[in-house]
Amino acid sequence: MIFDQLSPHFGAIVHGIDLSKVSDSDVADIRAALVERKVLFFRDQTLDDDGQVALGRRIGELTASHPVVGGVDSEHPEVYALDSTDNGFADVWHTDVTFMRRPPLGSILRAVTLPPTGGDTNWADAQLAYDSLSAPVRELADKLVAVHDGNREFGYYLAQRRGGRGNEWDGEVVTKLEPIEHPVIRVHPETGRRGIFVNPGFTSHIVGVSEFESRAILDLLYAHLTKPEHIVRHRWRPGDVAMWDNRSTAHYANRDYGTDRRVMHRITLRGDVPVGVPAS
Ligand SMILES: O=C(O)CCC(=O)C(=O)O
Ligand SMILES: [Fe+2]
């Protein structure tokens, strides 16, 4: 596969792949590059919702659009739409759907309507960030567990839906968003690399420390995760598709385009239960 690196370790623009007809070897290359480069960009693509879903099924297994937010239309229950005219914003650093037991392995995002300028999306490399923490802080973080709670972002939405029922997720219809625990440092299931797995969007607190300590530790990890050298920033063009490893990254969409419309369609690949660093 041919790609341009966007930084020494993180991000790539992939060339020469038409996502509407990926071969078996394209799929293998994409999967490998996704783990290695963590966020991939494909230019000049021609996907519609059907094509995006078909692509996702080639790369992995699809989830519902979101645990509590319905699909873009009845034909596409897997497609999650973010529309700026319908409050679809993502201007808080987050990793997708970490408030569920099994957050997605990855996400595939397609630009549908773009503002003339602005609305760039930023990704942070959670493994690079982990590696560049000092050893004592890594050792502390390795031992910590955090609570993730989707109610702050999506509780109101869930309450509005079909009498408080969301979508089927992990084989069960979601009727409430129970806060759940994940390790603060996640061991990547394919590479064994460690990465910071807390995010301001969904992590509420760290277990077993004071509220003050939790706030201070999370703020330290967030500030470190989002240092400029851990970030790639994408300026969208029509036809762009981004794909990221949701096990090793966080992201943030700039909300700087005023009242212009911006619409993005996302699908997510089914993931596994995050695993932390084994106790030594
Ligand atoms: O709108 C974007 O660029 C990113 C939205 C987002 O957070 C997502 O698709 O998961
Ligand atoms: Fe997201």
Q: Which bound ligand lies closest to the C-alpha atom of 242?
A: 1
- The SS3 assignment for 160 reads helix
Give start and end residues of each alpha helix (H) in 168-210.
none
> Which domains, ranges and CATH numbers included, belong to the chain?
2-269 (3.60.130.10)
- Does residue 82's CB lie within 6 angstroms of at least one atom of ligand 1? yes
In the reported structure, the alpha carbon of residue 200 is separated from the centroid of ligand 1 by a whole-number distance in angstroms of 15
Instruction: Check if the beta carbon of residue 158 is closer than 8 Å to that of residue 149.
Output: no
- Does residue 63's CB lie within 6 angstroms of at least one atom of ligand 1? no
Highest mean pLDDT among 157-161, 163-167, 182-186: 182-186
Give start and end residues of each alpha helix (H) in the chain.
24-37, 49-59, 126-131, 135-142, 151-160, 211-225
Radius of gyration of the chain (CA): 18
- The residues that are catalytic are 94, 96, 251, 266
Q: Give the pairing type, strands 39-42 and 12-15.
A: parallel
pLDDT for 122 equals 98
pLDDT reading at 162 higher than 80: no
Q: What are the pLDDT digits (tens) for 72-89?
A: 999 999 999 999 999 999
Amino acid in the structure at residue 7: S
pLDDT for 205 equals 98
Query: H or E segment at 206?
Result: strand 203-206
Q: What are the pLDDT digits (tens) for 113-131?
A: 999 999 999 999 999 999 9
Atom of ligand 1 nearest to the CA of 82: 1
- Does residue 251's CB lie within 6 angstroms of at least one atom of ligand 1? yes
- Rounded distance between C-alpha atoms, residue 116 and residue 97, angstroms: 29
- Exposed e or buried b per residue across 193-212, where buried means at least 16 C-beta atoms within 10 angstroms of its C-beta: bbbbbbbbbbbbbbeeeeee
Q: What are the pLDDT digits (tens) for 247-264?
A: 999 999 999 999 999 999
What is the DSSP track for 16-35? S--TTS--HHHHHHHHHHHH
